[in-house]
A and B are shown apart, each in its own frame.
Chain A
Amino acid sequence: MNSVNSTFKFKWGNHMFKKLVVAAVATSFTLTASVSYAGPKAEVLHWWTSGGEAKSVAVLQKEFSENGGSWTDMPVAGGGGDAAMTALRARVLSGNAPAAVQLKGPSIQEWYEEGALADISAVAKKNNWSKVLPASIAGHMKCEGKWCAAPVNVHRIDWIWANASVLSSNGFGMPKTWDEFNATAKALQAKGIIPLAHGGQAWQDATVFEAVALGIGGANFFHDAFVKLDKKALQSDTMVKVFDQMRIMRGFVDKNFSGRDWNLATAMVMNGEAAFQIMGDWAKGEFLAAGKVPGKDFLCASTPGEGFLYNVDSFAMFKVKGSERQDGQKLLAKLIVGKNFQKVFNLNKGSIPARTDVSLNEFDHCAHVSAADMNASSVGGTLLPSYAHGMALRGAQAGAITDTVTAHFNSKMSSKDAVAMLVKAIDNSK
């Protein structure tokens, strides 16, 4: 009797318990479903991890959260982006790409060809990007006519920096032609001053090479040789002359240049050990951080020649799923090309805004020179992408040219041999 009662009670209890569990689970599902949209989200992959750069990214992060967005940072330090690119490849392969990635130049179009980029033309149209960005820069941000990336800044590559007192006490000004540069350098060398502070790393050799190539060959030659990879331009006598000048430059660097980092070369100019350095405008950041005043302690000028070699950092927008992440991506794109971010970021980083209608009141003298030159060269058709910094060519071709340049610079190779090797290396890399 008792056993029958207890069995009956147990069965009834069990059944009720099951129902209770099902009811609870169903309620919790509906609850979570109704709070699904939490606001725009963006995961951003970048390698701006050092001092000034990290500060600059923090500006964007702040603005994004002020506009209601939630930012997930994915900083991958080092290697000029190598480690970040590896992380990106893994994420894209697993089907879970981050919303925005720090990419520049032809890599954007390369990733587009892998089918990984999103279309942000709606944001671009709404915010009038085609009116406020120079045409050649806008070109890099488009994939087959559709906007797929947002430009952050414009770095100028073809700067020559000088120690003001070394030049003035020896009666020299900033050289306007390469012959003038050679003469000034020889005279300074005779006085025991290192004419050119240089770091013997492949990318630095390439930076000097393209400044020389632009100066000696002109804008059309540069475009034919390093953007179109036209064989006639690559094999021309002008190219031989460029390598001749590189051989002369090799004589102006000091014995310990091999493997030296670029900022140590800048330090050599700062303390008067060396007179000149040919380096992009991030060198200005080093001077300013050491408390040097442009125009008084150090001089900035464009390297001899007509033209402007640019390096535009940008965020490429990758395909993401879900309305939160797509909204976050659109908000991010809008803010990146917004006036406030363009001003504050570039003040911190030492470059100039990509956007042409930002007031430059708070920028220094060298930035004003850069901006004026950029507008002038954009109008005159001499605004060119830098090959050494990954704007003009894809990795394999740029690497082939750099291999040749650095092999020539570090050996006794003749200019004619260098030109032959250049053509062969480019053919091999295609």
Chain B
Amino acid sequence: MSNWLEKHLPKIVLGPSFLAIILFVYGFIAWTAWISFTKSRLMPKYDIVGFIQYDRLFDSPRWEVAIDNLFIFGFLFILISMFLGLLIAIFLDQKIRIEGVLRTIYLYPMALSLIVTGTAWKWILNPGLGLESVVKSWGFTNFTFDWVINPDFAIYTVVIAGVWQASGFVMALFLAGLRSVDQEIIKAAQVDGVPTFKIYSAIIIPSMAPIFLSAFIVLAHLAIKSFDLVIALTGGGPGYATDLPATYMYTMAFSRGDIGQAASSAIIMMLVVFAVVVPYLYSELRNKNDQ
């Protein structure tokens, strides 16, 4: 009896959580997909009518802005966060004295909630209260930095706030990666007289490829989920210029009583996530099989 228990105990313990995930995550994803094919407005209806919600979605000018913003924000956010994170990690890796303190300072923004980040940056970027007025008071009366109220540039302010929050985290990932590179190879390269810059670009960074991938996956999913940052920073932007699919979905579901649209936009968001995650999973599983 105890033998059987020992063999099956992990399954029994994980069972309830597993069932809960199947129901509440995958079951409700299926429910959302079902609703996205119906004419639901205020309350869910279950008669399938075809792709009309998707037609309406792609016809909507606001959704176009939201998807464009997702790609602009996602691309810039991931690129700049990784670059800054790598740069700071390399600088911190130079065996400096107060490394611990600096590391904490750079990592600290990640501990803040996105609402706090969004609100603080809203005040900093406000033309009348923040950066622009301070620089003007220093005498540079022609300085303007009103991106946050400019519909063409407002999305870049969201990028700034997001990068500030996330680059500390990326730095921590890369620092761990840098430290895990085999010291023998580096010593050998130094003995051969390879300049430091080349050591980094030709040896260390390529060996950290898996960490780049992890950082990319984490940042990508943060970017796609971005909701509280946008709401706190611009409230959807001047007009709806900083709308993202997540804020569009929330507005449709809860403010407009249009559940069908919300469901279809949620499914599109999920497909975008799949487009990022599935190739990664495929490559991981393939590597495992090769090994």
Q: Which residues of A contact B151 (CB under 8 A)?
A: 407, 410-411
- Tell me if B129 and A256 are in contact (CB < 8 A): yes
Q: Which residues of B contact A395 (CB under 8 A)?
A: 255-258
State the CA gap A107–B61 with chains docked (Å).
Answer: 25
Complex partner residue of A410 from B56, B60, B126, B241, CB under 8 angstroms: B241
Given contacts A410-B241, A411-B151, contact A256 B126 (CB under 8 A): yes
Complex partner residue of A396 from B239, B254, B258, CB under 8 angstroms: B258
Q: Tell me the number of A-to-B contacts counted with CB atoms below 8 Å.
A: 90
Smallest beta-carbon distance A19→chain B, Å: 43
Answer whether residue B177 sits at the interface, using C-beta atoms and an 8 A cutoff: no
Q: Which residues of A contact B61 (CB under 8 A)?
A: 403, 407, 421, 424-425
Complex partner residue of A85 from B59, B146, B236, B254, CB under 8 angstroms: B254
Count of interface residues, chain A, beta-carbon cutoff 8 Å: 38
Q: Which residues of B contact A254 (CB under 8 A)?
A: 128
Kindly specify which of A86-94, A121-129, A291-299, A362-370 makes contact with the partner chain.
A86-94
- Tell me if A399 and B256 are in contact (CB < 8 A): yes
Answer whether residue A114 sits at the interface, using C-beta atoms and an 8 A cutoff: yes
Complex partner residue of A428 from B42, B59, B241, CB under 8 angstroms: B59
Complex partner residue of B254 from A86, A93, A409, A425, CB under 8 angstroms: A86
Answer whether residue B225 sits at the interface, using C-beta atoms and an 8 A cutoff: no
Answer whether residue A105 sits at the interface, using C-beta atoms and an 8 A cutoff: no
State the CA gap A211–B235 with chains docked (Å).
Answer: 24
- Tell me if B60 and A85 are in contact (CB < 8 A): no
- Tell me if B239 and A409 are in contact (CB < 8 A): yes
State the CA gap A24–B272 with chains docked (Å).
Answer: 64
Q: Which residues of B contact A271 (CB under 8 A)?
A: none
Chain B interface size band reads: 20 to 34
Answer whether residue A110 sits at the interface, using C-beta atoms and an 8 A cutoff: yes
Could you list 17 A-B pairs, sorted by A, with CB under 8 Å? A83-B254, A89-B43, A92-B43, A256-B127, A256-B128, A257-B149, A258-B148, A395-B257, A396-B256, A396-B258, A407-B151, A407-B239, A408-B239, A411-B239, A421-B61, A424-B59, A428-B60
Q: Which residues of B contact A93 (CB under 8 A)?
A: 43
Smallest beta-carbon distance A137→chain B, Å: 23
State the CA gap A221–B152 with chains docked (Å).
Answer: 33
Q: Which residues of A contact B255 (CB under 8 A)?
A: 79-80, 82, 395, 399
Q: Which residues of A contact B235 (CB under 8 A)?
A: 201, 259
Q: Which residues of A contact B59 (CB under 8 A)?
A: 424, 428
Q: Which residue of A lies closest to B43 (CB)?
A: A114
Given contacts A201-B235, A202-B239, A395-B257, contact A110 B42 (CB under 8 A): yes
- Tell me if A406 and B239 are in contact (CB < 8 A): yes
What 1/0 flags go to A404-427 for Cβ under 8 Å of B?
001111110000000001001100
Question: Of A107, A201, A255, A408, which is in contact with the most chain B CB atoms at under 10 Å from its CB?
Answer: A255
Q: Which residues of A contact B251 (CB under 8 A)?
A: 399
